[in-house]
Amino acid sequence: MSKEQHMRVCPVEKAGGLDNSFRRFLQNPGKILKPYIKEGMTVLDLGCGPGFFSIEIAKLLFDSGKVIAADLQEGMLDKVRQKITGTELEQRIELHKCLDESIDLSEKVDFILAFYVIHEMPNQDKLFRELKSILKPDGMIFIVEPKFHVSKKAFDSMIHKITSLGLEIKENPKVFFSRTIVLKN
């Protein structure tokens, strides 16, 4: 990872702030994702960090489907690995290390969660084209960005970029102190 990219992403050393009971109270992964996750889906958790959402997605899938927990940092994937090793979730969560400039995933997915990660990406246009290329027909992308990092103008620009690829706005669910959009292929 380049020095510039390292400065843009949340460091592994701060992973505890991404996965704690206070955050779970404010941004409950089950409540946020339950309307979208269905058994049998293949779900990409882009920028999974320590697995705050990946774990819950795997539980919502029950015994069918899988989560691809993808992150740029091996240290974040190690944190997820530590949580799932020896549990039934290990069979439903696939760990995937992204490349510096690409997700590097060829598998098609039903649902993509990008929670507090798009603003860290240096080339959003390229990212959105890549996300569209791996999204199944009728698949959905759920983007959540923090209001404290992403202005309304920047978020609207992001939405314009991704909808110009042919994705349609489905809804804007409420997530505490966040800007959100769910898009459908």
Contact 61, 67 (CB under 8 A): yes
Taking the C-alpha atoms of residue 1 and residue 78, their distance in angstroms, rounded to an integer, is 16
Which pLDDT does position 20 carry in this prediction? 62
**What are the pLDDT tens digits along the chain (185 aa)?**
444 444 467 666 655 556 667 767 788 999 999 999 999 999 999 999 999 999 999 999 988 999 999 999 999 999 999 999 999 999 999 999 999 889 999 999 999 999 999 998 989 999 999 999 999 999 999 999 999 999 999 999 999 999 999 999 999 999 999 999 999 99
- Which is it for strands 178-184 and 109-115: parallel, antiparallel or unpaired? unpaired
CA angle 123, 125, 129 (to 5 degrees): 120
- Which whole-number Å values give the CA distances from 32 to 16, 51, 78, 174, 182, in the listed order? 20, 15, 25, 8, 12
Domains of the chain: 3-184 (3.40.50.150)
For residues 106 and 87, what is the distance between their CA atoms, to the nearest angstrom? 27
Per-residue pLDDT, 12: 64
Hey, what amino acid is at 156?
A: D
Q: CA 16 to CA 40: how far, in whole Å?
A: 30
Within 17-102, where are the H helices?
A: 21-26, 29-33, 52-60, 74-84
Output the CA angle 105-180-64, nearest 5 degrees.
45
Edge-first strand listing for the sheet containing 135-146: 93-97, 66-71, 42-46, 109-115, 135-146, 178-184, 168-171
Contact 136, 185 (CB under 8 A): yes
CA 124 – CA 119 distance, rounded (Å): 8
| Phi, then psi, of 126 in degrees rounded to 5 | -65, -45
